[in-house]
């Protein structure tokens, strides 16, 4: 809504009220990104931004709880602890105030927290336009290499094992029309095979692709739809992951180099 401030000048204020379950989804969203992104930049109810390590692009639809809302939060790991104080309340209000000292106000019927809006030019994880995303990831179904549903049990195993192995990548290994997903320590003294005998869409000579562990670091609520596409012009795969966090739909995009066995 807009309310009159001075003659000819308006203070723009947007108020969003979240029920307990919606606020839980909002906190879950921040919790899942707190070790991957320094900031979040929501535009019209959508997050589309790179991870801190630049390996992954997140696209998270928040429109079910924050329709048409635009707001950015910096240092989300620290702010998460503040925002948790409202967890479990019947209703939490977010007021977005766009005056000369733009800010966000989180409140319930007892307390409130005021957070100043950051300057968007200086946040680390900036919103990406559709055009920017498509310039990096153009996926054509005729180039589909692999289409596989990863159970949440497996994503949990990948998360635990790669953290224990202290590795930032897992391997998708191709051999003919089959693939497997594995990980190893840098010293190669420990090895894990997560999934075997995945049927591929095309036959590939023995090769492998290193996948960032970032897409496996989230605590998904549903199985992950995993697709790999071969870049037509080079030995690169374009990878997509789709799942949900509570009521929120999430997509993650990554790129990987295909390395032939005799090159590895």
Give tens-digit pLDDT for 175-209.
999 999 999 999 899 999 999 999 999 999 999 99
Average pLDDT, stretch 214-218? 95
Give the model's pLDDT for residue 6: 38
Predicted local distance difference test score (pLDDT) of residue 106? 97
H helix or E strand, kind and range, residue 142: none
pLDDT confidence bin for 7, thresholds 50/70/90: very low
- Phi, psi torsion values for 90, nearest 5 degrees: -60, -35
Do 45 and 66 form a contact (C-beta atoms < 8 A)? yes
The pTM of this model reads: 0.90
Domains of the chain plus CATH, in order, are: 2-135 (3.10.150.10), 137-263 (3.10.150)
**Span 35-61, pLDDT tens digits:** 999 999 999 999 999 999 999 999 999
Please state, in angstroms and rounded to a whole number, the distance separating the CA atoms of residues 79 and 85. 11
Measured distance CA(22)–CA(20) in Å, rounded: 5
Q: Using only C-alpha atoms, what is the Rg of the chain?
A: 21
| 3-class secondary-structure state, position 130 | helix
Instruction: Look at residue 230 in the predicted model and tell me its pLDDT.
Output: 92
The pLDDT of 144-173, averaged and rounded, is: 96
DSSP string, 77-128: HHHHHHHGGGTT-SEEEEEEEESTT-EEEEE-SS-EEEEEPPPGGG-SS---
User: Which range is least confidently modeled, 23-32, 114-123, 169-178, 191-200?
Assistant: 114-123
DSSP class of residue 54 equals S
Structure confidence at residue 262 (pLDDT): 65
Q: What is the pLDDT of residue 2?
A: 33
Percent of the chain topping pLDDT 70 = 94
Record the tokens describing residue 115, joined without a space.
């957070």
The pLDDT value given to residue 101: 67
- At residue 108, the pLDDT reads 96
Mean pLDDT confidence for 5-16: 61
């Amino acid at each position: 809504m807009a309310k009159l401030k001075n003659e000819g000048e308006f203070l723009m204020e947007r108020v969003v009220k979240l029920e307990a379950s919606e606020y839980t989804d909002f906190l879950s969203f921040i919790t899942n990104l707190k070790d991957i992104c320094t900031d979040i930049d929501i535009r019209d109810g959508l997050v589309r931004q790179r991870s801190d390590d630049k390996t992954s692009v997140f696209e998270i639809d928040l429109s079910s709880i924050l329709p048409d809302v635009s707001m950015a939060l910096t240092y989300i790991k620290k702010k998460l602890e503040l925002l948790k104080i409202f967890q479990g309340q019947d209703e939490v209000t977010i007021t977005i105030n766009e005056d000369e000292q733009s800010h966000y106000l989180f409140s319930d019927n007892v307390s409130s927290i005021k957070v100043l809006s950051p300057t968007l030019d200086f946040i680390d994880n900036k919103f990406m336009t559709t055009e920017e995303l498509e310039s990096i990831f153009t996926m054509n179904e005729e180039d589909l290499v692999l289409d596989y549903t990863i159970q949440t049990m497996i994503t949990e195993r990948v998360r635990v094992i790669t953290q224990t192995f202290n590795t930032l990548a897992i391997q998708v290994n191709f051999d003919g029309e089959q693939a497997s997903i594995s990980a190893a320590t840098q010293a190669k003294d420990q090895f894990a095979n997560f999934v075997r005998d995945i049927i591929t869409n095309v036959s590939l000579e023995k090769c492998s692709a290193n996948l960032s562990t970032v897409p496996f670091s989230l605590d998904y609520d549903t199985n992950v739809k995993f697709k790999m596409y071969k870049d037509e012009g080079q030995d690169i795969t374009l990878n997509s992951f789709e799942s949900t966090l509570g009521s929120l739909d999430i997509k993650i995009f990554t790129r990987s180099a295909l390395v032939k066995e005799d090159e590895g």
